[in-house]
Every structure is written in structure tokens, then in C-alpha cells.
Amino acid sequence: MTETNTNKPLLEVKHLKTYFHSRNSTVKAVDDVSFEVYQGETLGIVGESGCGKSITCMSIGRLVECPPGRYEGGEIILDGEEILSMPDAKLRDIRGNKLAYIFQEPMTSLNPVFKIGYQIEEVLMLHRGMNKEEAHQAAIQALDRVRIPNPERVVNDYPFALSGGMRQRVMIAMALACSPKLLVADEPTTALDVTIQAQVLDLMNELKKEIDTSILFITHDLSVIAEMADRVMVMYAGKVVELADVNTIFERPLHPYTRGLIESRPDMSTSGTRLNVIPGNVPDLSDLPEGCSFSPRCAFCCDKCRAGVPELVEVEPNHWVRCYRPGGEDLDN
């Protein structure tokens, strides 16, 4: 994957800020987030609920409801085109065509009153200008591609007739119908059972090779990240706290939060009497602590951390960390 880094990025997000305003507070859900996704790579975004990972990915397709949301700044450049300033008509052309989404809950993403086939055909007729018959054949092919048995029968089924794993396959088929350049998968396997999750992850990896799509993979589950991602971005309280390739993240995490996340998880190989924990709770985004947002929960917190917000710094090639004391080092270093 390292050679892909020399290419021009497919997606560039620069200083993205997505805030939510309510009468008496402002929630900085995404606060100055920058990253790139390169051609053919999978970038994993990991974090706990409320860290801004889903809002980041929804901002890319301008899917955040405005108001209450507002894009306060930044740029999102997908394949050379800026998304945030784009007219709506142009954006509609890009959504579903160059950029496709898979969400967590397949039942709420599928329309329950239309047949599976129709929902896929709609995408193809709109973006590829196919007629009804061509689209129908293409829909069968799309279902076949995601290894759905009897696609000729399933196109005429309604979503309720399918199991959770099958519905998620339909979502993938629909997302990939127009061979998008970027596939955003927001917790695509969280609602699925372990054995079904393994099937879906396996399928996504195969399809990625087949059609050479880049994937932005959002999850709270570190083991899924270990399975899928080439590079990993860890988010906490609306900010990127660490960004590196997947092996580095798991072997040499430098941000105390990343380390805490990895160590607190009972791995299949760990045994012992206690887990290492990160104390405290995930902070309220409308009432963030002074200084570094992680400082109240951090074992290495010092006066400097409570006073100022650290910048995201490249501490070694391609390894970015937002911490005054990466790896718990002393301040005078």
C-alpha cells in the first residue's frame, strides 16, 4: 500500500469543520479534520460514539442536515472537484455515481415498499441512462456480483423477505452498481452476527480488488479495522488524534487514547485478571474540557495539556499524532 501514497489522492479533506448549532450551544462535531484517501486504498476511521466519525463521512457527500448542521469551513475535493461549494444538481450527479454509501442498518436504508430490483434499477437508470430492461439485467448482475443466490428471484423480493446479511449485500450491490470511485462504509457490519460479518468483510475485500474502488471504512471495532484497513485514522471528540498505517497503529500507537483503546480490548489471546481501562467518560461535545480534549482521561496529562490544544504533528514519516507527549515521552525531549 505504500506505493499508493505517491499518487495523487482521490479524496482530499482539508480543515473540515462541521458544527451543529442549537439555541444555547454549539457542538463542534467535526473540528478541523484533514485527511486523504488514495486510489485503491482503504482508510479506516475508528472512534467511539460521538467522536465525529459518522459526521465526517456524511459531510463528504454533503449529507448532514443543514440546519441544525453547518459546514463552517474547509474543503472536500473528490477526484478534483470541490464538494462543499458545488451546486446541488452537480452533487446529485456525483452521489451514487462517483461516491456511494453503505450504512449500518440495511433495513432503514432500503425502502420497504419497493422491490429490491427496482431500487437498484433506479440508480442505474438515473446515472447510467439505461432503459428498464437493461437496468433489470444489470440489477441481476449486481446481485450476482455480491454472491446473492438466485438473483433472478431476489430482484422481485421486498426487503423484509431478506435476512440482515442479505440486505447488507443488497446495499453493497446498490452502492457498487455504478462502480463508484469512493465507497463510504459507515459501520457496515456492526448490526450483523460474527459469521455474517466475516462473509460481508470478505466480500468487500474481494470486490475492492475487482473494481478498484477506494473505501472509507468507519467503525468503532478495532478488530474490524485490523482486518480491513490499509491506513487508520483515530478520532476523539471531533478531532483526528492519530493517523498512520495499520501495522504502525497496532504495533506502535503513540497517542495515549489509541494505546488505551487497543489495550482495553480483551483480545482473543489476552488472559489475565483485569483489563487496562481508560478512566472516565466520553466528553460531551458541547462542553469540552480546556486544553487537549483527552487530558481529563489521560494518564500522561501534564500542565501543558490542560492549557493548550496540541497540533497534529508528523512525528515520524506518515505517522501523525496530536499529543504533546506522544508515547508518554518527557516534555523536554
Q: Which stretches of the chain bind another protein, using CB under 8 A? A: 48-49, 163, 165-166, 193-199, 201-202, 220-224, 226-227, 229, 246-247, 250, 260-262, 264-271, 273-279, 281-282
DSSP string, 192-225: S-HHHHHHHHHHHHHHHHHHT-EEEEEES-HHHH
- CB within 8 A of 45, min separation 6: which ones? 53, 56, 57, 216, 217, 218, 219, 232, 233, 234, 235
Closer to another protein by Cβ: residue 39 or 190:
190
Closer to another protein by Cβ: residue 138 or 185:
185
For the beta carbon of residue 150, count every other beta carbon within 10 angstroms.
Answer: 11
Q: How far is the CB of 1 from another protein (least distance, A)?
A: 11
Closer to another protein by Cβ: residue 125 or 262:
262
Closer to another protein by Cβ: residue 42 or 59:
42
Q: How far is the CB of 303 from another protein (least distance, A)?
A: 24
Task: Quickly tell me which residue has 423480493 as its cell.
Answer: 157
Q: How far is the CB of 62 from another protein (least distance, A)?
A: 28
> Omega into 67 within 30° of 0, i.e. cis?
yes
Closer to another protein by Cβ: residue 254 or 278:
278
Pairing type for strands 9-21 and 214-219 reads unpaired
Q: Cβ(63)–Cβ(90) under 8 Å?
A: no
> Omega into 68 within 30° of 0, i.e. cis?
yes
Q: How far is the CB of 142 from another protein (least distance, A)?
A: 20
Q: How far is the CB of 236 from another protein (least distance, A)?
A: 10
